[in-house]
């Protein structure tokens, strides 16, 4: 079974975001080629769940990850970080061998 964790703070922030969207929407996390380290994370709001989507839930929110992307994020955790440089979702990816300074791209 594929593993992707959602922290309590990420679930709370996702809930706030989705409360402003139409009912039945999800946060989608995907990986695409590009970024300063080779791959980058893409976050979007999606109203449709595809047949190959994996769903991960915590505290009433659902995060979608497609089968291709989970290969690069197996065992990862999405967190909401609010610090001096700003607030953002961050992926803690145990598979990444390098990360960029902004935390949005990685290499395997």
The pLDDT of residue 70: 94
Tell me the mean pLDDT in the region 39-67. Answer: 93
Q: What is the CA radius of gyration of the chain?
A: 13
The end-to-end CA distance of the chain, in Å, is 21
Contact 12, 59 (CB under 8 A): yes
Output the pTM of the full model: 0.85
CATH of domain 4-96: 2.60.300.12
Tell me the mean pLDDT in the region 26-42. Answer: 82
The pLDDT of residue 6: 97
Rounded Cα distance, 37 and 83, in Å: 23
pLDDT tens digits, residue range 60-89? 999 999 999 999 899 999 999 888 777 888
């Amino acid at each position: 079974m594929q593993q992707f964790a959602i922290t309590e703070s990420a679930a709370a922030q996702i809930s706030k975001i989705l409360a402003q969207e139409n009912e039945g929407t999800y946060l989608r996390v995907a990986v695409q080629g590009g970024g300063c380290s080779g791959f980058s994370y893409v976050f979007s709001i999606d109203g449709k769940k595809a047949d190959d989507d994996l769903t991960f839930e915590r505290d009433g929110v659902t995060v979608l990850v497609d089968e291709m992307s989970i290969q690069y994020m197996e065992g990862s955790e999405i967190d909401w970080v609010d610090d001096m440089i700003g607030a953002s979702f961050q992926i803690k990816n145990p598979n990444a061998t390098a990360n960029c300074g902004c935390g949005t791209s990685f290499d395997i």
